[in-house]
Amino acid sequence: MTAYDPNNIFAKILKGEIPSHKIYEDDHTYPFMDVMPMVDGHCLVIPKQGSRNILDADPAMLGHVMATVQKVARAAVKAFRAEGCQVRQYNEQAAGQTVFHLHFHILPLKTGETVKPHVGGMAEQAVLAKQAEMIRAVI
């Protein structure tokens, strides 16, 4: 497995080099809106500690990350009046990982809702800002 690259896009977001729409932050995690959302309210949770994916992650850090995933998932479901959510996580290119910093996707969903592919154009920044605020208001 390739080593963690501290210059990946999520590491740059953590360093403030690339802007993001923050939802919440604590000592261990940083949740923010996905710029290419698959559904309204699609957000990501990343650890502040660098790891490529779950295969090289510190087990103690994973506990903090999963607590935040649960907190943000509950808030996203409530904020978007969803009926449930998907939590997705990919490990290495063969499994579909494209950014090699551990991250969890949270997709609030209603029954029958279509999930768009995670490719293509970026969402409007104003929309992402509003959606981040909707989730923050529930947290």
Q: Which residues are catalytic?
A: 103
List phi, psi (to 5°) of 3.
-70, 155
Q: Are 115 and 85 in contact (CB under 8 A)?
A: no
Q: Are 100 and 5 in contact (CB under 8 A)?
A: yes
What's 13-77 look like in SS3?
HHCCCCCCCECCCCCCEEEEECCCCCCCCCEEEEECCCCCCCCCCCHHHHHHHHHHHHHHHHHHH
